[in-house]
Amino acid sequence: MNLPNALTFLRILLIPVIASLLIYRDYTLALVLFVIAGVSDALDGILARALGKKTKLGGFLDPLADKLLTVSCFVLLAQAGALPTWLAALVISRDVLISLGVLMFLVTAHPLDFRPSLVSKLNTSCQLLTIFVALLYRGIQGAPMPLPLLVWLTGVLTVASGLHYLARGIRAAGG
């Protein structure tokens, strides 16, 4: 196993720990581990490109780790009242629909470009920032919810990236 993939596995191993901390309302430690997970996410990509260690496994596991981390954090932060429930439902719905679309392409043996689009990268960054701010507010300041503008921006980008992937899927299917 190469170093970038090991960092991705580390991030995956941190997810249940972060989730447990959120369940027990230890937002400060959850924030610290979330930042470590974020740094490992940035490093694995940088190292994979710099060292020429990009692999199919890494290409599969990296976005999976991102989704597992974001979905678990959105669900648990919404349950705690730190983020609106509608936003968690929107994030989950988008990810489920994209996953079903990918599965459909795999079952029908259609070729599919798995590379994330720019709007998807912006969406992921905004989702991670929203989680970070929610953890920061809960862990340090105790405020009920992060900036409403950030929450709405995350919602808009989540919908936009979902629609973008839908359009890509329709084009790839020849529609």
Domains of the chain (ranges plus CATH)?
A: 3-172 (1.20.120.1760)
For residue 23, name the pLDDT band (cuts at 50, 70, 90).
Answer: very high
pLDDT at 143: 62
pLDDT tens by residue, 92-113 = 999 999 888 778 777 776 666 6
Q: For residue 19, what are the contacts with CB-CB under 8 A and spacing of at least 6?
A: 72, 73, 76
Asked whether residue 7 carries a pLDDT value surpassing 90, the answer given is: yes
pLDDT at 149: 92
For residues 168 and 111, the answer to whether their CB atoms sit within 8 Å is no
HSE of 41, CA atoms in CB hemisphere, 13 A: 25
Amino acid present at 128: L
